[in-house]
Structure 1
Amino acid sequence: MSLRCFHCAEPVPAGSQFHTIIDGVSQPMCCPGCAAVADAILAAGLSDYYRYRTEPGAKQDLPSEIASLAAYDLQEVQHEFIANSQQGGKPRLEVLLSIDGISCAACAWLIEKHLHRLAGVRIDVNTTTQRALLSWPEHDYKLSQLLTEIASIGYRAAPFQLDSQEQENAKQSQKLLLRVGLAGLATMQVMMLAVALYTGYFHDLESHYRDFIRWVSLLFATPVVLYSAQPFYFSATRALLGGRINMDLPVSIAILLAYGASVKATWLGVGEVYFESVSMFTFFLLLGRLAEQRARRKASEHASNRQKLIPLTARLISADGEQQIAASGLSCDHVIRVLPGERIPADGVIIAGQSDINEAMLTGEQQPVPRNVGDTLYAGTINLQQPLQLKVTAVGAAMRVNTIVRLQEAAAASKPEIAKLADRIANYFVPALLLLALATYLFWHFYQPEQAFWVTLSVLVATCPCALALATPAALTCGTAKMTEHGLLVRSARVLETLPKLTSLLFDKTGTLTEGQFTLTTVEPLATLDNHTVLSIAAALEAHSSHPYAQAFRPYAQPQWRASDNQNHLGQGISGSIDGKRYRIGTGQFCGASSEDGIYLADDQQLLARFVLADKLRVDAKHTIGQLSPHYHCAMLSGDPNPQAVMLAQELGLEDAHFGLSPEQKLAQMQQLQQRGQRVAMFGDGVNDAPVLAGADLSVAMGQGTDLAQCSADLILLGSRLAPVLTGITIAKQTHRIIRQNLTLSLCYNAAVVPLAVCGLVPPYLAAAGMSLSSLAVLGNSLRLLKDKT
């Protein structure tokens, strides 16, 4: 027998000198690439990978692979898939990767451990989707370096591309469909032969005919057991190697025991065979897996479909005139024209024209939205009325639609408490099932030995907790997809769990209850400076602020007025120097005024001016608050020092209103409610309200362009309306109801079938059918979430 490479299991060429010492043993390697990979794994202290892996690694061709990775460092290539983010005020880069070669949880563990050795690098691997979210400090590493690190331990990683990922998903579906088809065809053939055997019992079938039918049945059942049922064996093995017991363990035991006993009976010519039960059991199980896979794919289609709506071409306006180019060739600051009826090819700001825009692909809102010069439009939305000129502000990975995909992928790896509870139930259920099967065997062995094996087999099959394992994740996946369809981006798994339990809703004012688009209504000089001068000073200071108030002063900026040494005072205002003189703009208290009825400008000696700003209420704010108030304690926590905030709260029908609060004061107000046992959701802009959002039981942010990529809220309202939160609460309650129904259905099924199976009243093939039907019932019940009109 020829030697096999310890890393990839390929044959080792004669005369090969490549070896690696692993756990004190010299292991053969087939090529320098595999030897280099093994050395990298050992050098990183990750030798446990070789202990716990369930499949061999891929054969390596490192030099050519690593050379090809350098292309990903080119800036013109990177804008397609790399996004900017922030952590602790430091710039970071982020990319969603597709990783080939992941075969089990040990692979994900190895990749994460290896990359986490690098300072500042973070990677979260999703074993199910074979994707990973990778982020790193912008100036510390090149992407090719990090991909090389992944390649050095035997995995091929590349930026996620929708088309290639869909092709990979299609391959996986075809492979599963092949397993199902093979099991189905074999089951039909074996069932026909089984009918002949069962009929023969009543007509004294001659032994050589009986033996022939059994051998033919073995021939058909063997591919089912050795090929179609492989996913159950691999899953059970991975769980055992990880120190766990999962639902595929009793399934695998049942299949192998039934097949082994039937092979023995066929070989010896003594005893009964159940090849039809083995084949049917596997077929029904795989049908359930196929339905589950399609349910997951259907639930994830929303994000994919959004990306497909981005047009392939764009009308670029340059010095040479207008030309049509590939949308992927656009860069920031390019100017493009979008005609009526066309989709926007990249995120951008309108610089000429006005039109109505259909933003349903992002927000779920079919009502067209009027957009004017200065407004931001997003890739994939539709221009309905007039030609527009846009200045491109984001392309590739930075576009809002791609940001949504990354945020959804990041949320997919987390689990809410209800999902963890179901996992804990399953963890106890499976060992209890195995003990029950053992007890059943012992009883029947003494009571009726010839039936002991088959009764035990029926118990293993009938009580398999497949439906229990699907009850929660299937509903959560469908519920999350439904919320995205209605313009609600779920960033945390706890959203669907927490929404139905809320008792208090707290709202920031600016940018949440109002649109956050301020206009200057009053300029009141308080010293010797005229209107033009105080506006120029204010605009120079506010040029360094991202606060919504700053927008009102930008039209008055003058190039000769420049502020330096600027300092942002959170919740108070801004200070800075202009021509060597220090100025402040912000609240009355910050500037030394006795009143808080406006925004004040001051220098070190005196007040210089008072400004009054106006903001429009969101069009549906009053209706939304009116719908929420009868069921929740609704209050406003505003940092706006203007007492008119209280009047606005009264207009909306809010029970309570506080104004002029610092972020710390907002947090204290919210914590008082929590100490009284309230479950609190905070609605804010995700930037100035960071402390209170972080402390809330659920944080909700309004999606505002590029802020979306940096927002740390649990839930993001993608549109300009508050009303989707009503839909979100309804969907969350429906999801909880579906989860309870699923858990009840699966547990009731098991409670009903256990005594019947233990008493020997359920043959193996009926046990297989019942178990699979319970799983399909759970999936079908969960899919109702996608079909319900909410």
Structure 2
Amino acid sequence: MQQVTCFHCSEPVLTGDQFVTLIDNQPKSMCCPGCAAVSAAIIDAGLTNYYKYRTEPGSRQTALVPEALSAFSAYDLQEVQQDFVHQNADINSTSLTIEGITCAACAWLIEHKLKSVDGIASIKVNTTTERAQLSWYPDKIKLSEILTLISRIGYQASPYQVDEQEQSSKRNSRKFLLRLGLAGFATMQVMMFALALYSDHFTYLDAEFRDYFRWVSMIFASPVVFYSAQPFYFSAVRAMLSGRLNMDVSVSLAICGAYIASCIATVTGQGEVYFESVSMFTFFLLLGRYFEQNARQKASISANNLHKLIPLTAHLLDDTGQCSEVPAKRLRIGDRILVKPGDVIAADGEIISGESAVNEAMLTGEQMPITKIAGSQVFAGTINVDHPIEVRITAIGQDQLIAEIMRLQEAASNNKPKVALYVDTISNYFTWTILVIAAITYLVWKTYWPEDAFWVTLSVLVATCPCALALATPTAVTCATGLFTRIGVVIKKTGVFEKLPLINHVVFDKTGTLTCGSMSVASTQIYNEMNETQVLAIAAALEAHSLHPIARAFEIYRQPNLLATESQNSAGAGISGVIRGQKYVIGSGDYISRHIGCKPLSSSEQTIYLADAHKLIARFELSDVIRDEAKSAVSALKQLGCKLAIASGDSSEHVNQVAKAVGIETVYKGLSPQGKLSLIESLQQQGKLAMFGDGINDAPVLAGANLSIAMGSGAAITKNSADMILLGDQLSRFSDAIKIAKLSGKIIKQNLYWALGYNLFIIPLAVTGHVLPYIAAIGMSASSLIVVLNSLRLLKVRV
């Protein structure tokens, strides 16, 4: 008889059918209560794909699991976390989907409750996408504990996964539609009886018929109050428990107050009933929220689309060269895959065989394919165009470039401009003010016109809800971030949206920015008995310790058996090292002159020298080419009113040639890194300055600028300290980014003007009794929808 093994850990099952978990509607045997509990938790968490794509069995859960096993414990498993957790040193980070977020106050509550928890590095909540970006120290707190803390506040959180998010959105939409449909149906029924109660044709209606109509109206309105309006209550209660007021507090007070007063009037047979108002403004509020949610989903759809670009399968090559189709999630670092023409690359890697053109539009926004040869980096989600290529996997899961872009995109969406922080504060005080105004309104009307006091107060509470005010900024920022991603611009730091429109001075580094940075050795002049191959190999061994674009010019001359030790790198000047017991230096003329004590050599970034401890050995002339679109990018920035300059460490005539070719009049050359930083600091006294660099060796200078932009080629995205990265190295995208930021700022101002203007306009009308409750609900919903739709105009911008 064949022995049964545990479906989770593959250990022998000695307990028969005592422990079984239902997976994909099939009973699977488990060896112990620990494995049964953990497998059940995995399934309950919606992570069935773990069992589909795993390559190794799970670890055996030898410890007894408590009966009340946490529903979140599955998320602590290492094999499960690899799908959605990014590890960076001692900090883990992930994106969470949070159900139940309705406004800025919800985001504030979650952030402030968790920021003080020991072990949580940061948490930022985006109300538009209903997601949070979380970073924590795994040695101090578990992910399951964090999720439990969020659930205790009243929200359900889980790691963001595209398929699960879409299914959750569909479930929530169906539930919302049910609430909306019920409210609509009840409103129609109640309005029929309201017509009978208030129409002139039924002025002399008998008391028993009047009471009958009231009781039936209450029966129809009750499901609306107790079911359809639930989202408003939950949001209001969560806010009040946290010591704050949000926009749903006034709405909940209006609904509950009108319903309770109407019920009392129905039971006692005295006073007015407002069942039709309760049903009607609940219906219109839900209708506005429904359209608003659909619009907000459009604002965040670009992030989902990035995930969908990664294929589900890949063609894996074994040691014999045989090809088999496997799930992309099963790929591991070091695997070799075959990518056929027209196929989407399944993971980040390096081409080890073949040559082809690759379309990287999903990363850079540039549709023109890029030629890739053996040794070139390729990235998940990009498309192989011409010929078959063989790729060795170098990164998977959350370590891939596309995952990093999504993390940066979400971080940018979560970054709140200063105006958003002011608006959050204003919204809280505004709600308090409205409650006070509503109370005063009720007292005044109750004194002079008691029969109308209640419905006028209802109108004040509903009409002045600051929903539009809270939505004014986050929806616009989310749309702008999605637009940046579309054109290949990645935002790494906060404040970019505010800084971009203010930029009036742009300074370019030359090498790797205005030029392609693909430098090559044009000529070699030798001053001793060595041959060209020897001096180039020594230079390559020294340059192997540098990240400067010049170092890449010597990569092809590197010899595996020739290594430099005791290397010392002088930023922007040169490198020294020991090769086979002999000390060598390579670098600029000034750097070499100081080391060997000779007369000053000509100093130029296009000319570098090689020397030993005593004498000059060789002189290398380097060549570089200007980027094709540098001139048009410079012209576009001039049209935006920016002053332009070049700041380069090169002191040769080549800097002037580049400046003339692209149309820049101001040139600063022969600058050390410290000299560049001093220049930036002095220029910033004249206005807001942006600095372009290659992102790695220019880090101190970039850090000193008001706004820094790096040319980000692929894997370098995580290595630089710039505020922004141009993924496709397209300089013209910076001027596009400025235009988008200016338009975003304009739309945010329009939203705020509209939201504040609407409330200032509607308050006097509501207080004086000129706005009926259902009209107030329509006005408030329309105001919020106008703000969201205005923000969505950003997604239609073509750049």
Fold shared, TM-score > 0.5 on shorter chain: yes
Give the TM bin, normalised by the shorter chain: 0.7 to 0.9
The amino acid that maps onto 1:124 is I
Q: How does 1:531-542 map to 2 (within 5 A)?
A: 531-542=532-543
Instruction: Tell me which amino acid in the other structure corresponds to 1:412.
Output: S
Structure 2 partner of 1:167: 167
Deviation at 1:202, TM superposition (A): 4.0
One-letter amino acid of the counterpart of residue 289, structure 2: R
1:351/1:374 contact within 8 Å kept: yes
Q: In the TM superposition, what are the counterparts of 1:484-495 in structure 2 within 5 Å?
A: 484-495=485-496
Counterpart of 1:146 (choices 120, 142, 145) is 142
Q: What is the TM-score of this pair, normalised by structure 1?
A: 0.84
- The reply to whether residue 632 of structure 1 matches residue 642 of structure 2 is yes
Query: Tell me, which stretches of 5 or more residues in structure 2 are unaligned?
Result: 1-36, 38-64, 594-599
**C-alpha distance in 2, partners of 1:489/1:320?**
41
Partner in structure 2 of residue 675 of structure 1: 685
Q: Which deviations, in whole Å up to 9, do the C-alpha atoms of 1:477-533 show, x marking residues without a partner?
A: 222212222222233453223222211122222222222222111212234433222
Question: What's the CA shift for 1:123?
Answer: 4.0
Contact 1:315 1:322 in 2 (8 A): no
Tell me by how many angstroms 1:84 deviates. 5.3
User: What is the alpha-carbon distance in structure 2 between the residues aligned to residue 341 and residue 765 of structure 1?
Assistant: 56
Instruction: Call closer, same or farther: CA 1:574–1:243 in 2, change over 3 Å.
Output: farther
Kept in 2, the 8 Å contact 1:572–1:586? The answer is: yes
Q: Deviations over 1:599-620 (max 9, x none)?
A: 2222222222222222222221
1:134 aligns with 2:135: yes
Task: Provide the C-alpha distance between the structure 1 equivalents of 2:74 and 2:278, rounded to a whole number of angstroms.
Answer: 48
**Equivalent of 1:611, from 617, 620, 640?**
620
Distance 1:470 1:201 in 2: 45
1:197/1:739 CA distance change after superposition, 3 Å? same
Give the alignment of 1:382-461 within 5 angstroms. Answer: 382-461=383-462
Task: Find the aligned partners of 1:67 and 1:781 in 2 and give their Cα distance.
Answer: 42
> Any idea what SS the aligned residue of 1:666 has?
helix
Q: Distance in 2 between the 1:101 and 1:596 partners?
A: 62
**What is the match of residue 652 of structure 1?**
662
* Aligned counterparts of 2:149 and 2:188: Cα–Cα separation in 1: 45
Contact 2:468 2:787 in 1 (8 A): yes
Q: Distance in 2 between matches of 1:428 and 1:257?
A: 22
Contact map agreement 1:629 1:654 (CA 8 A) in 2: no
Residue matched to 1:596:
603
Q: CA deviation at 1:152?
A: 7.7
- Whole-Å separation in 2 of the counterparts to 1:60 and 1:234: 31
Residue 16 of structure 1 is matched in structure 2 by none
- Report whether the alignment pairs 1:783 with 2:784: no
| Deviation digits for residues 69-92 of structure 1 (CA, Å, limit 9, x no counterpart) | 6641x5xx665445454xxxxx45
Q: What is the alpha-carbon distance in structure 1 between the residues aligned to residue 647 and residue 184 of structure 2?
A: 62
- One of 725, 728, 731 as aligned partner of 1:716: 725
Farther off after superposition, 485-494 or 774-783: 485-494
Note the C-alpha offset of 1:149. 4.9
C-alpha change, 1:756 and 1:601, in structure 2 (3 Å) is: same
Give the structure 2 partner of residue 376 of structure 1. Answer: 377
Counterpart of 1:686 (choices 695, 714, 717) is 695
Give the distance between the partners of 2:766 and 2:240, measured in 1 at CA: 26
The aligned amino acid for 1:670 is: I
By how many angstroms is 1:416 displaced? 0.7
Q: Deviations over 1:167-212 (max 9, x none)?
A: 3333333333333233222222222322222226644222222222
Any conservation in 2 of the 1:646–1:658 contact (CA below 8 Å)? no
Matches within 5 A, 1:18-29: none
Structure 1 segment 68-83 matched on structure 2, within 5 A: 68=74, 71-72=77-78, 80-83=83-86
What is the DSSP-based 3-state SS (H/G/I as helix, E as strand, rest coil) of the residue aligned with 1:295? helix
- Report the secondary structure of 1:601's partner residue: strand
Contact 2:75 2:81 in 1 (8 A): no
TM-score, normalized by length of structure 2?
Answer: 0.83
Q: Is the 8 A contact 2:491 2:723 kept in 1?
A: yes
CA offsets 1:356-391 (integer angstroms, 9 cap, x no match): 222222222222333333322211111122222222
CA apart distance, 1:632: 0.4
Residue identity in the other structure for 2:705: A
Matched positions, count: 715
- Matched AA of 1:743: L
CA contact (8 A) 1:62 1:151 kept: no
Counterpart for residue 223 of structure 2: 223
Cα–Cα, structure 1 residues 463 and 201, in superposed 2: closer, same or farther, change >3 Å?
farther
Residue ranges of structure 1 left out of the alignment (5+ in a row): 1-32, 34-58, 86-90
Q: Which residue of 1 aligns with 2:59?
A: none
Aligned residue in 2 for 1:661 = 671
Percent identity among equivalent residues? 48
Contact residue 519 and residue 613 of structure 1 kept, 8 A: yes
The CA deviation at 1:623 is 0.6
Q: Specify the alignment match of 2:94 in structure 1.
A: 96
The farther-off stretch of 763-772 and 177-186 is: 177-186
Alpha-carbon distance between aligned partners in 1 of 2:201 and 2:684, rounded to the nearest angstrom: 72
Whole-Å separation in 1 of the counterparts to 2:764 and 2:75: 59
- SS in structure 2 opposite 1:512? helix
CA contact (8 A) 1:147 1:157 kept: no
CA RMSD of aligned residues (A): 2.9
CA distance in 2, matches of 1:148, 1:777: 39
What is the CA-CA distance between 1:643 and the residue it aligns to?
Answer: 4.4
Match of 2:775 in 1: 766
Deviations 1:46-104 (A, max 9, x none): xxxxxxxxxxxxx98566879856641x5xx665445454xxxxx45544154779986
Structure 1 stretch displaced more, 231-240 or 467-476? 231-240
The offset of 1:433, in angstroms, is 2.2
